[in-house]
Structure 1
Amino acid sequence: MAAGHHEGHDDGDRGGQQDPGNGTPGGSAGNGRLIQGRYRLHELIGRGGMGEVWRSLDESLGRRVAVKCLKPAGHSGDAGFTRILQERFRREARVAAALQHRGITVVHDFGEHEGVLFLVMEMLDGRNLLQTLDDAGRSPLPVPDITDIAEQVADALAYTHAQGVVHRDLKPANIIRLTDGAVKICDFGIARLGHDIGFTSRLTGSGVAMGTPHYMSPEQIDASEVDHRSDLYSLGCVLYELATGRPPFDLGDAWSILVGHRDSQPEPPRVGRPELPVELERLILDLLAKDPEHRPQDAADVGGRLKAMRAAAGVTTRPVPAALPGWARGLTTGSAARSTRAHRITAPPHHELTAAWSTRPVTEQASPETLASLAARHAEAIDLARIGNWRQAYDLHTSVAAARDRAQGTDHPDTLASRHEAAHCLTRLGRTEEALRMYEYVAEARRRVLGPDDPDTLVARHEAAYELGRLGRHLEAHQEYSAVLAARERTAGPDDPDTLQCKHNLGVNLGLLGRAEEAYLTAAEVAEARARVLGADDERTLVTRFEVGHALARTGRSAQALETYREVAEIRERVLGADHRDTLAARYEIGICLGRLGRSADALALYEDLVAALTRTAGSADLETLRARHALGVNLGLLGQWDRALAEARDVAAVRERLLGAGHPDTLVSKREIAVGLGWLGRWSGALTVYHEVAETRERVLGPAHPDTLTSRNDEAGCLAQLGRTAEAQALYRRVGEQREETPERL
């Protein structure tokens, strides 16, 4: 990792002079020094007003870490000041170490060594946003990058604010984007500590609160009470800079900057960048409101607005059900996902060739420069996919595949790797049939070139089976999974992680074929093997245990399913945190089981807490939040609270229709719940209107013989009967019965 590829190390002052010896044990000669007999400082990778950051080795655990060394600027002889400072440092470091979220830098340890305070943090491979902007010559970032970064930062802030922690110094230098696209905030507690130590610039003799001038909220400048909304203002400053290439008040000196934050309105970002989406500009300007009351009131709301923007623009990390996390698919009805995706193996630029391929002609001689250029474009396409630009990624992968075909050959492993990635993009674009054909093509070519049992061949076949399942062709998917599983067991062994992934998918598919007991036994076997091979707390183990719970519920063993889901939720809460989406997903299923066991009051209490947690961490418009609200409404109805149930159903249906469309299955489920509520309240005319709308939409989208369409027609007939329109009801009942008799049983 190149120097500087850790979190923000500067003090945020542009062009300010920094003390080159500040903060290192033994001055600037820290290289090779050992801190507390454990942390070996190897290479200076960052220096700023707060001290220095060193690439280090934790010799006790043998892991790479980053050590941030902080040293007071003055008062070195004041024992009382030192004791107070050390106590404040311990307090702030404990707060930072307690934060457990994927969007926050992990603090492993902290302490004091030879008068120097130090934090031990995870070593990250990436660039902070200040470096990213400087690398680009201060050019604005692409809009998908901005919204992706903003969503991740908002998610992390929603978590920390829920813990009562305010950052107080959010800025580009404190936000790092890893090479895999993940975003992390660092230096929680450091701004307050910097104020205590004496590093924070004081622009007046008194009263100016901690922070970096370009990103300080008006209330910080006025030394007013600061809460989580100050971080949202700073986030607005960061997004403004990412969108325009400059901070909102980029004035000549620090005092002018602060006056600008306090008294001036920023120039709208679209003045200098008219192609910026109006909704994004509106969000940035809302975040930059002078009065905290006029800003978005929490980070979850910010995240919800960003998700809505990405969905409206067709740029989303979850465009179709298969793109959801493994546990999230089908949560409306409590069913589990088909699988998590198998790893996608991409051949390196100079893949070792087999004799079968090496004799194939190519149309042009590929130079090393050409191969390197194609490899770089391939990596660029993967990066586009990582931030959700599936259309652009697909186009680039297709272009690279064509160029590799000409330069290296149709069946070269690199050409096939590009086609494999193109197929993955097609999946995320919802073009399942095309993705299936591409995976089948790649699998057959790899079988010829690499052999039928090569891992890359089996990966492509695995993906083809997955696409078959998405298309409802579960019998064909079963046959393909079975063949891949047999090959993996033969070549890699029954306990290989890829073998277990395939067996997991096979078990899920068995459930979709209606072979519930076999699905349960298969999932139980995989869960036991994964616990043995990967550990009981590994997420893959928990995904399969989650599937065990689903299989138990499907076979009517709801009490055992409840216990399984509770165990999964307990481990996820311990490992990932109480507000992690996977933890919340397990809690959702606990509620489903409680409802099936007739414990609707317990389920209602759980869903009320779950909705609050999801709204706080993901936003009110998040799909999982809406699923939990739907379940809450169902349990309100089961408890006879139909007025509240009807209001909940209407709210959820309206948001789902706006986000997903009128014909989406989840929207229709919510609309049906409206009709149920109207019926229980005796408002049968209104219920009939809604039942008929749902039936008509399902017939148009799914076809007249689909089970969901027939269920809706049955609902409609029952409503007609309640209204005394007996002849119409009987005619519709007959029509449904005849349709069911004519429809062959579905596998």
Structure 2
Amino acid sequence: MGDGTLIQGRYRLLERIGRGGMGEVWRARDESLGRRIAVKCLKPLGTQHDHSFTRVLRERFRREARVAAALQHRGVTVVHDFGEWDGVLFLVMELLEGNDLSRLLEDNKGHPLPVADVVDIAEQVASALAYTHEQGIVHRDLKPANIVRTADGTVKICDFGIARLGHDAGFTARLTGTGIAMGTPHYMSPEQIGGDEVDRRSDLYSLGCVLYEMATGVPPFDLGDAWAILVGHRDTEPEPPRTHRAELPRYLDRIILDLLAKRPEQRPDDAGELGRRITAGRTAPERVPALATARPRTPRQVGGRAVLPSWTHGMTTGHKATGPGPRATPPDPGAGLSGEWIPRPTGDGTDGGRTVGPVPDEWPEPASEAAAGLAERHNAALSLGRLGRWEEAGRAHRAVAAERERLLGPDHPDTLASRYEAAFTLGRTGRAADALRAYKGVAQARIRTLGADHADTLAVRQEMAYTLGRLGRHTDAHQVYTSVLTARERTMGADHPDTLRCRHNLAFNLGRLGRTEDAHRMAREVAAARARVLGPGHPDTLVTRYEVAYELGRLDRWQEALATYREVAAARARALGPDHPDTFAARYETGVALGRLGRCAEALTAYEALIADRARAQGADHPETLRARHGRGVNLGRLGRWGEALEEARAVCAARGRVLGPDHPDTLVSHREVAVALGWLGRWAAALTEYRLVAAARERVLGPDRPDTLVARDDEAHCLEQLGRAAEAAELYRRVAALRSVAAR
């Protein structure tokens, strides 16, 4: 095969991007759909192999290809097709635009990755493993070369299923005799080394080895001799990662050591548990439970020498992830699905898909030291954003963007990536109009240099649509979302996670346009697709199901909304942890639904439990804790307990004024709740003072003819009626009606 070969009249091979013991990987184009793909071809076996072995190997390839094609998760490489052509077995996969972790570590010149990156990668890999293990699939060859971080920060595991070819029981000895690599010993579990049966916990051990290397810069057993490495895995306790790098969080050190326990039963039970521990440690490291690690065990010895299986004889160390310098090919060419890309991904996995594209020939090659320094500063700025320090992150991104423009040029992908991130921070600091202008500049440059349908261009246009929605320009946002969605479906397919994210945002925006039925229908479709592609417990799936519940409420279908909110809350507690903000949000909406159904006593109980949990996890004065207290006060009133409701409303109002400011919408809502309670208690003069305060503040902040201001004036007029001041009330009603008439034109 060579450049231009057309497989089955559909897949055009363009460029070989990897070669290994099992075969070759080609950058290719699907001529039917017009999309870029990767094609992996199994190397034909020579005549020295008997026909029965060849037949079994081919059947194994087909079976494992079917397994891989059935896996649908954001963190697993998508398999589109497989078959046999001219005696060659081939597999068609998505083309990953990024670098594997082996290359990232090499580009980092043997230094460990930033802690935030280690944690982010660990969480994403744990999520992918949790999904695949639920399907009964064990990877068996997890290593940095088989984990790719794409240009938008998404982490994907490669070669699921296919990695099992050389490891199934009864075939180990046969396949090693063919020269097919057994894998790199730096990442093999003790049970693999001992030839024992392996399960999902073997993958967790291998992941522990990968995390150890990312966190410290070296594998847990960094020895030059393969036999010594294998003995180390089986019989020697690793040094704690913090002995290599003192600033590592203690919870991360503990998790890695637990993954490296010698006996499977002493590791985390599954990847779901691992993901929850990482999330819990990231948010509250002092509360992460520690599992006991295995004690050193005495090696099995014969004649003073530790015994290893016969298949290890003659085995070489293979590549560890960090080598002496860049190579011409990826460390595992069979898994290398990327071509020449910017060395360090610039994304952090958030919506918007912060990607970088290939470098055109006309862009100058920057001085590596200067470019590397800017890349480090860019990643540091991303870390500031992850910590919520958006003002600092924005200043850092703007500075890096200016220097990258001088060094690389204004249209270089790295320059545009920094400008994109600077725009993102503007949105996060409440400067939506400035963010929109910045996004437009990046979009124009990406259209000019990359094309209108490039993933980076679509990402920034999607972020523009989101910002338009933030500015209340929902019609404009709808037009942009629709255009981006059409392009994503054409270039990526209807079920690509980025396409589904765009459809989710479009559904959300339809609701803000008042098209509630359309929003509900689309949200249900997206939720079903995300459940199929990502899994029913994936956070993205649950976000869309949450939106389904919201639209059900707007359709007054509160019984269905309540059931959905409860299901989402339970699923989020399992997937994210009981104290995750998203779990709390679903619990809050459950209280809202109970109240709307008239089940106020149940709602009150739900809010009181939520208040206690939020205060413990986030603090008594956190805005969301105060929001739950507001809900408690509302339901006290619904139960006729107006004295308690007034006391709670006043306390929440004072706290919101202190935390959020006197003119914040939430503070004004609490003032109104105080007025409502005063009215029910017959204290109309005091209520009038509160209503007028709310109306004046809304008029000052929003304008005299905005809906919220007019509602506040209606409240004021009603209160005047209750006080017997009918003429003043009638005049105020007339003014409000006139303003509404003008606003409606």
TM-score range, shorter-chain basis?
0.5 to 0.7
Residues 54 and 67, structure 1, Cα contact 8 Å, conserved in 2: no
CA distance 1:446–1:107, change in 2 (3 Å): same
TM-score normalised to structure 1 length: 0.57
CA apart distance, 1:120: 5.3
The letter for the 1-side match of 2:667 is T
CA distance 1:592–1:67, change in 2 (3 Å): farther
Q: Using the alignment, how far apart are the partners of 1:710 and 1:416 within structure 2? A: 44
Q: Using the alignment, how far apart are the partners of 1:66 and 1:643 within structure 2? A: 68
Counterparts of 1:347-386 in structure 2, within 5 Å, are 347=356, 352-354=358-360, 358=362, 366-386=366-386
Q: Using the alignment, how far apart are the partners of 2:291 and 2:409 within structure 1? A: 55
Q: Using the alignment, how far apart are the partners of 2:736 and 2:591 within structure 1? A: 33
CA apart distance, 1:401: 1.5
CA apart distance, 1:661: 0.5
The letter for the 2-side match of 1:653 is C
Q: Using the alignment, how far apart are the partners of 1:599 and 1:390 within structure 2? A: 41
The letter for the 2-side match of 1:595 is G
Structure 2 gap segments, 5+ residues each: 1-104, 116-185, 213-218, 223-232, 240-250, 297-348
Q: Using the alignment, how far apart are the partners of 1:66 and 1:519 within structure 2? A: 55
CA distance 1:548–1:108, change in 2 (3 Å): farther
Q: Deviations over 1:159-204 (max 9, x none)?
A: xxxxxxxxxxxxxxxxx87xxxx7744874679x99xx9xxxxxxx
Counterparts of 1:387-536 in structure 2, within 5 Å, are 387-536=387-536
CA distance 1:372–1:183, change in 2 (3 Å): farther
Q: Using the alignment, how far apart are the partners of 1:650 and 1:438 within structure 2? A: 42
Matched, 1:345 2:354: yes
| 3-state SS of paired residue (1:662) | coil
CA apart distance, 1:724: 1.2
CA distance 1:183–1:676, change in 2 (3 Å): closer
| Corresponding position of 1:168 | none
Counterparts of 1:183-202 in structure 2, within 5 Å, are 184-185=285-286, 188=289
CA distance 1:376–1:110, change in 2 (3 Å): closer
Q: Deviations over 1:584-633 (max 9, x none)?
A: 22121111111111111221121111112212222211121111111111
CA apart distance, 1:671: 0.9
| Corresponding position of 2:670 | 670
| Corresponding position of 1:722 | 722
Structure 1 gap segments, 5+ residues each: 8-29, 47-52, 57-64, 72-100, 124-151, 157-175, 198-339
Q: Using the alignment, how far apart are the partners of 1:630 and 1:31 within structure 2? A: 52
| Corresponding position of 1:731 | 731
Q: Using the alignment, how far apart are the partners of 1:539 and 1:545 within structure 2? A: 10
| Corresponding position of 2:155 | none
| Corresponding position of 1:569 | 569
CA apart distance, 1:385: 2.2
Q: Using the alignment, how far apart are the partners of 1:576 and 1:104 within structure 2? A: 20
| 3-state SS of paired residue (1:743) | helix
The letter for the 2-side match of 1:537 is G
The letter for the 1-side match of 2:545 is R
CA apart distance, 1:734: 0.9
Greater Cα shift, 710-719 or 378-387: 378-387
Q: Using the alignment, how far apart are the partners of 1:108 and 1:398 within structure 2? A: 41
The letter for the 1-side match of 2:695 is A
| 3-state SS of paired residue (1:430) | coil
| Corresponding position of 1:622 | 622
Q: Deviations over 1:286-336 (max 9, x none)?
A: xxxxxxxxxxxxxxxxxxxxxxxxxxxxxxxxxxxxxxxxxxxxxxxxxxx
The letter for the 1-side match of 2:358 is E
Residues 352 and 462, structure 2, Cα contact 8 Å, conserved in 1: no
| 3-state SS of paired residue (1:402) | helix
CA distance 1:103–1:609, change in 2 (3 Å): farther
CA apart distance, 1:406: 1.9
| 3-state SS of paired residue (2:705) | coil
Residues 55 and 66, structure 1, Cα contact 8 Å, conserved in 2: no
| Corresponding position of 2:190 | 34
Residues 494 and 500, structure 2, Cα contact 8 Å, conserved in 1: yes
CA apart distance, 1:354: 3.5
CA apart distance, 1:726: 1.4
Q: Using the alignment, how far apart are the partners of 1:604 and 1:44 within structure 2? A: 47
The letter for the 2-side match of 1:645 is A
CA distance 1:32–1:374, change in 2 (3 Å): closer
Q: Deviations over 1:367-423 (max 9, x none)?
A: 222222222222222222222332222222212212222222111111111100110
Q: Deviations over 1:457-503 (max 9, x none)?
A: 00000000010000000000000000000000111011000000000
CA distance 1:103–1:732, change in 2 (3 Å): farther
The letter for the 1-side match of 2:418 is S
Residues 209 and 260, structure 2, Cα contact 8 Å, conserved in 1: no
CA distance 1:4–1:700, change in 2 (3 Å): closer
CA apart distance, 1:45: 10
Q: Using the alignment, how far apart are the partners of 1:494 and 1:396 within structure 2? A: 37
Residues 107 and 121, structure 1, Cα contact 8 Å, conserved in 2: no
Q: Using the alignment, how far apart are the partners of 2:515 and 2:663 within structure 1? A: 30
| Corresponding position of 1:612 | 612
The letter for the 2-side match of 1:393 is A
CA distance 1:405–1:675, change in 2 (3 Å): same
Q: Using the alignment, how far apart are the partners of 1:103 and 1:731 within structure 2? A: 70
Q: Using the alignment, how far apart are the partners of 2:635 and 2:500 within structure 1? A: 37
Residues 398 and 419, structure 1, Cα contact 8 Å, conserved in 2: yes
Residues 452 and 458, structure 1, Cα contact 8 Å, conserved in 2: yes
CA apart distance, 1:570: 2.3
| 3-state SS of paired residue (1:584) | helix
User: CA-atom RMSD, angstroms?
Assistant: 4.0
| 3-state SS of paired residue (2:744) | coil
Greater Cα shift, 36-45 or 685-694: 36-45
The letter for the 1-side match of 2:394 is Y
Q: Using the alignment, how far apart are the partners of 2:633 and 2:585 within structure 1? A: 17
Q: Deviations over 1:627-662 (max 9, x none)?
A: 111111101101100111111111111111111111
Q: Deviations over 1:58-96 (max 9, x none)?
A: xxxxxxx9999699xxxxxxxxxxxxxxxxxxxxxxxxx
The letter for the 2-side match of 1:342 is D
CA distance 1:559–1:725, change in 2 (3 Å): same
Select the structure with the greater relative contact order (CA < 8 A; seq sep ≥ 6): 2
Q: Using the alignment, how far apart are the partners of 2:221 and 2:499 within structure 1? A: 37
